[in-house]
Amino acid sequence: MVPMRLVIATCSVDYAGRLSAHLPEATRLIMLKADGSVSVHSDDRAYKPLNWMTPPCTRAETASSWVFSNQKNETLTINFGAVHLDVSEDLGLEPGLLKDGVEAHLQELLAARPAALGENLRLVKREYPTDIGPVDLLCRDDDGRAVAVEIKRRGEIDGVEQLCRYLERLDLDGRLRPVRGILAAQQIRPQARVLAGARGIRCVEVDYDELRGLKSDELKLF
């Protein structure tokens, strides 16, 4: 496995593609992950990078720059002024996120009753693997189309973005493409619904007690 590489450098960054963006020279953290992705971070944005490129992408190096490009003809160019730290480390196998009890049980219940998501779905596999992590459920609908279901206790924008990344990876598999997505949660925030609608993802609010058979069989669909 390719090791994780962390570089702290004074650099400028330019993105060119659907639009253009420029980060003027400053000291930043550059993260190169084993999956081939690159992300550029500052010290004041928590986990969210200033700019990034998801895999698959390629890197071309010169003495003073890295140029990343992908299949969409987008480029991310990092021009180095000075490199202060450059370290690599193999992080080993990732065991995956351990979900809390409610979220894990929701996955188990919906895997047993995928039709509870409001359409006639047939489960293919729980925790279906992608090269960036497993999607909670992979199903097929009546037309045989693949459906990826991401399950959260609370549906937020981050959950929509996570499902979008899974859909992007699953669509690379010709046996599955095109894959549509469903975000299932006990509660879904309005902002998450708006983003999901813009990305073609259906949102389903599920009642935990109803799925356990403690209430009448009613789901709210959005």
Could you list the pLDDT tens digit for every one of the 222 residues in the chain?
578 999 999 999 999 998 899 999 999 999 999 888 999 999 886 678 999 998 889 999 998 999 999 999 999 999 999 999 999 998 877 666 555 556 778 888 888 888 888 888 999 998 898 888 889 999 999 889 999 999 898 889 999 999 999 999 999 988 998 999 999 988 899 999 999 999 999 999 887 777 777 554 444 444
Q: What is the pLDDT of residue 109?
A: 86
Residue recorded with tokens 């069989």: 217
Residue recorded with tokens 């299932």: 184
Q: What is the pLDDT of residue 87?
A: 96
Q: Where are the domains of the chain?
A: 4-89, 101-221
| Cβ proximity of 191 and 203 under 8 Å | no
CATH architecture of 101-221: 3-Layer(aba) Sandwich (3.40)
Strands 180-188 and 146-155: parallel
Q: Please report, for residues 124, 136, 190, the alpha-carbon distance to residue 196 in angstroms, rounded to integers and kept in the order given.
A: 23, 17, 10
Q: What are the tokens at 156?
A: 């937020």
Q: Identify the CATH number of the domain defined by range 4-89.
A: 2.70.180.20
Q: What is the pLDDT of residue 216?
A: 47
Closest residue by Cα to residue 170 from 132, 202, 216:
132
Q: What is the pLDDT of residue 91?
A: 83
Q: What is the pLDDT of residue 194?
A: 93
